[in-house]
Structure 1
Amino acid sequence: MVILLTILTAFFIGFLSMPVLIGAFKKMQVVDKPGGRKIHKNDTPSMGGIVIVLTVLITSFIWLNLHELVQIRYVVAALALMFFVGLRDDLVELSPMQKLAGQFVATFMVVFMSDIRISSFYGFLGIYEIPIVISYLLTFVAIIGLTNSFNLIDGLDGLAGTISILTFGFLGWWFMAVGMESYGTFSMILVGAVLAFLVFNWHPAKIFMGDTGSLSLGFVLSVLTVLFIDTNGTLYANHPWKFNAPIASGIALMIVPVYDTTRIFARRIRRGRSPFAPDKNHVHHFLMRMGLTHDKVAITLGVIKLFFIGLIFIGASYSDYLMLPLIIFTAVVFGARLDALTLKRVKTIAKNSPPVLKGKFKKAQHKSTIHHSVAEHMHISDN
C-alpha cells in the first residue's frame, strides 16, 4: 500500500505541475522548433525533465525516512548534478567534452562515495573478484556508456518514457524483494514521475523531456542497473530472487538503448563515418519508415523490452555462459529481421507511390488546364 501511495504521490505532483511548465514555456516561446533531423511537426516545449527530476526529489523527501535518504544520498546528489548538466545543454548547448566531464563527476560520486560498481565477473569465464582499478574503470565505462545510449533513444514521442518506466518498475520490485527498500522506493518514485510525464509526452506530444530529462533518467537507470548486477551477482545461491546470469540480466534490462547504440555505431563506422555523427538510422526511425506512428513504435519497443525481461525470468537458473549468448543472439536476430521488414516495406511504398517527375508533370498540367479555363471564361465574358 505504501508503494502504491508513493507512486501516486509522484504521479499527481508531476501531473499537476507539467501543465504549468508547458504554459510557461509556450508564453516565453521556449520551444523546440521542427526541421532538420527532428521529426515533430509543431513548435513544442522541451525540458520536461525539470518536472520529472523535481517531482522525484520532492516525493523522495516526503516518503523516504532519514536513514533511507542517507543510503541513497550520493545517487540523489549525482542525479541533481546530471539534471543541471542537461538543463545547461538544453539552454546553451554544451560541447561533447563538457557533457562528458559532467557525467564523469556524477559517476565519480556514485562509484567512489556509494561504492556502486561492478566488483566481479561473478564466475563468468572463471573470473570472480576483479582488481579494484579494473572494477572502477569498467563501471565508469558502463555508466557513462549506458547514460548516453539512453539519451540517443529519446527521439520520438513516448519512447524514452515507456522504456524507462518498464526498467524502473522491474528494478523497484526487485530491490524491494531483496530487502533494499530505499532503492526500491526510489525506483518506484521514478515510475510515478515518468508516468506523469508520459501523459503529456504521448503522441502527439505536448512537451519533450529534453537532455534535462534524458540525461538524468539515463544516468539513474545506468546506476541502478549496475547496482542490480552487482547485488544480484553477490546474493547467496539459494536466494529466491537471484538470477544466475547477472551480466546477461543487466544487459537485458537496457537492451533497447544498448542494441540501438551498438547497431548505429557499427553502421556509421562501416560506412567510413564518425560513430558520433548524427543521422536518422536509429531503430525508432526504421520502425517509422515501416509506417508505424510514434505511439505504435513506443509500444512495439516496449513489448520487445518486456520480452527480454521475460527471458531473464525464464532463464533465471542458467548462468551467463548460456544467457549472455542467448540475449545477444536474440537481439541480433530481432534487429536483422527488423531491417529486412523495413527494407521490404520501403520498397513497397516506393513502388506504389507515383514517380516524382510524373507527379510534378501532373501538377503542372493541372495548373495549365486551370489557367486555360480561366482565360476562356474571361474571353467569353468580354464578348
Structure 2
Amino acid sequence: MDSFFPYICIAGAAFITTLVLVPPVKRLAILVDAVDYPSKRRVNTKPIPRMGGLAVFAGLVVACALQVTGTILWDWPSALVPHPSMSINYYLLGVSFCIIVLTGAIDDIFTLTPKVKLAGQVAAAIVAASSGLTVGSIVNPFVSGEYLSLGWLAYPITVVYLVAYTNIINLIDGLDGLATGISAIASITMFSFAVLAGRGDAAALSIALFGTCIAFLRYNFNPASIFLGDSGALLLGFALGTVSLLSVSRTAALTSLLIPLIVAGVPILDTLAAIVRRKRAHVSIGQADKGHIQHRLIQEGYDQKQAVLLIYLWCILLALGAAAINQVGIEARIVIFAALLACSIAFAMRLHLFEPVLRHHYNPKTHKDEIVTPDDPAFAEEEQAAEHNKKAHGKE
C-alpha cells in the first residue's frame, strides 16, 4: 500500500486543483466569449462555456509539481529518472503539452482553421518526438528474436501517432461527459499497465490524468455547465498518446503497441467510421457531420446520459479485454482481440456508423454544389432518386 501512496497523492492533487479551478475558468471563458452556442450540429440547447481544458491542464501541472516535490523531500520514487529504454528530456516533453493546450485554447476563443489547428498539433508532436519519446524498433512477430528497426522513420511515425491519438478524443467529444469519461477509463487502465511494466513516468502521468478527469466530470457530466473545448479534448488525447508511448520499451512488442489502441478502441472506431462515411458521401474527411456514435445513439432514442453510459460500458469492455490480452499467451490474445473486434464492428454496423449523413447536391437556384443533411428536403429527394436508379438498373 505504501508504494501506491504517492500515486494516491498525485491523483488527489490533480483532482482538487481541477475541481477548484473550474469555476474561475468558466468565468474566464465567458469573458473571452469562448462559448458553445446552440446550433444544428450541437446537442446543447443553451450557451455553455468551453475552454475547460485549462482547469484540466492546471491539475496535471500541480500533480507533476507534487511528484517532483515528493521525490526531493519525501523520498518518493522519481518519475523523472532516465527511461529504461529511452533517453527522454522531460522538460521538452512538458513544452509539447504547453503547445497543445495553447493551440486548443486559441481555437476555443478565435476558432482556428483546420490547417492552423493541425499545424499546432504537429508542432507539439514534433517537440515530443524531439524529446526522445519514440519507439526505435519493433519485435518481429514472425521471427523469434528479431527486431524491425524503424531508424529515422521512428520520428515521423511518432508524430503521426500522437496527432492521430490527439484527434480521436477530440472527434468523439460530442456529448456531456463523453470524452472526459472515456479518457478517465483509458487513463486508469493505462495506469495499471504502467505499474505492471515498472514505468514510473507513465504511471504518474496517467494517474494524474485520471484524477483531473474525474474532477472535471463533476461539472461536465449531463447536464454540463462547462465543456472541455479543444483546449481539453486535444490535451486529453495528446496525454493519452504520450502515456501509451511511455509505457512501452524503445524496442516494443507488437502486443504492447496494440494494447493502448484497444483501450481507445471506441474513439478510434468512431474516427475510422467518420472517414469512411465522409468518403462515401464524397465530402472532405474534415467536414463535420452528425453520424458519430453519440449522434446515432441519440437518434435511436437514448437520452444523453443513457448514450454516454452505454459508450462508457463499451470502453470498459475493451479495457478489460486489453487487460486480459496483457496476461495471456499468444493464441488466447488472438482470440480475445478477434472477439473484441467482431463485437465492436457489429455494434458499429447496428448503429449505421459507416453510412453517409452528408452529401453533395446541386442547387439549381444558387448554381452551386452544396452539402445537404438528412434534415434537408434535398436529402430525401436524393434518397428517392438513388432508390429509383437502383430499381431501374435492376430491371435492365
Q: Tell me, yes or no, whether TM beats 0.5.
A: yes
Q: What does residue 140 of structure 2 align with?
A: 123
2:37 aligned with 1:33, yes or no?
yes
**How far is 1:285 from its partner?**
0.5
Q: Distance in 2 between matches of 1:160 and 1:40?
A: 15
Distance 1:61 1:258 in 2: 32
Structure 1 residue 324, shift from structure 2 partner: 5.2
What RMSD over aligned residues (CA atoms) do the two structures have, in Å?
2.4
Output aligned runs, 1:253-264, within 5 Å: 253-264=263-274
Q: Could you tell me how far apart the structure 2 residues matched to 1:141 and 1:54 are?
A: 26
Q: What residue is the counterpart of 1:160 in the other structure?
A: 179
The code of the aligned residue for 1:48 comes to G
Structure 1 range deviating more: 204-213 or 105-114 = 105-114
8 Å CA contact 1:33–1:44 kept in 2: the answer is yes
Is contact 1:248-1:324 (8 Å) kept? no
Question: In the aligned structure 1, how far is the partner of 2:324 from the partner of 2:65?
Answer: 37
Structure 1 match to 2:382: none
5+ residue gaps, structure 2: 73-77, 82-87, 356-396
2:347 alignment partner in structure 1? 334
| Among candidates 99, 120, 128, match of residue 117 of structure 2 | 99
Question: Is the Cα contact below 8 Å between 1:158 and 1:294 reproduced in 2?
Answer: no
- TM-aligned CA deviation for residue 256 of structure 1: 1.3
Q: What does residue 84 of structure 2 align with?
A: none
| Structure with greater proportional strand content | 2
Cα distance, 1:88–1:328 mapped onto 2, change above 3 Å: same
Provide the rounded CA distance (Å) in 1 between the counterparts of 2:196 and 2:288.
Answer: 41
1:11 and 2:4 correspond: no
Once the two structures are superposed, the pairs formed by residues 1-383 of structure 1 within 5 Å of their partners are 1-26=5-30, 30-64=34-68, 65=71, 68-69=79-80, 72-114=90-132, 116-126=133-143, 128-230=147-249, 233=252, 245-316=255-326, 317-319=328-330, 325-339=338-352
User: What is the CA distance between 1:157 and its match in structure 2?
Assistant: 0.2
TM superposition shift of 1:321: 5.6
What amino acid maps onto 2:272 in structure 1? T
**Whose RCO is larger (CA < 8 A, sep 6+)?**
1
Contact 2:13 2:62 in 1 (8 A): no
Q: Normalization by structure 1: what TM-score?
A: 0.79
Q: How many Å apart are 1:162 and its aligned residue?
A: 0.5
What is the TM-score normalised by the length of structure 2? 0.77
After superposition, the Cα gap between the structure-2 partners of 1:226 and 1:27, relative to the gap in structure 1 and judged at 3 Å, is closer
Whether the 8 Å contact between 1:228 and 1:250 is mirrored in structure 2 is no
Indicate how the Cα distance of structure 1 residues 326 and 249 shifts in structure 2: closer, same or farther if over 3 A, else same. Answer: farther
Higher percent of residues as helix: 1
- Distance in 2 separating the partners of 1:108 and 1:16: 33
Whole-angstrom distance in 2 between the partners of 1:13 and 1:250: 27
Rounded Cα–Cα distance in structure 2 between residues aligned with 1:111 and 1:259: 25
Distance 1:24 1:121, change over 3 A: closer
Greater shift after overlay, 10-19 or 124-133? 124-133
| Alignment partners' CA distance in 2, 1:75 and 1:28 | 29
Question: What's the offset of the Cα at 1:308?
Answer: 1.1
217-226 vs 42-51, which deviates more?
A: 217-226
In percent, how many aligned pairs have the same letter? 24
Shift in Å at residue 87 of structure 1?
Answer: 0.7
**8 A contact 1:143–1:219 mirrored in 2:** yes
Quote the offset at 1:122 in angstroms.
2.4
1:303-352 residue CA offsets vs partner (Å, 9 max, x unmatched): 11111121123333244765655543332122113339x9xxxxxxxxxx
The Cα shift of 1:174 comes to: 2.0
Deviation digits for residues 2-26 of structure 1, max 9, x if unmatched?
A: 2222212211111122122224444
How many angstroms apart in 1 are the aligned matches of 2:231 and 2:117?
Answer: 12
Give the 3 Å change call, closer, same or farther, for CA 43–179 of structure 1 in structure 2: same
SS in 1 for 2:219: helix
C-alpha distance in 1, partners of 2:34/2:124? 27
Secondary structure of 2:148's counterpart equals coil
CA distance in 1, matches of 2:101, 2:325: 36
Please list every run of 5 or more consecutive structure 1 residues that lacks an aligned counterpart in the other structure.
Answer: 235-243, 343-383
Over 3 Å counting, the alpha-carbon distance change for 1:308 and 1:47 in structure 2 is: same
Q: Deviations over 1:203-256 (max 9, x none)?
A: 01000010010111111111222333546935xxxxxxxxx7223312201101
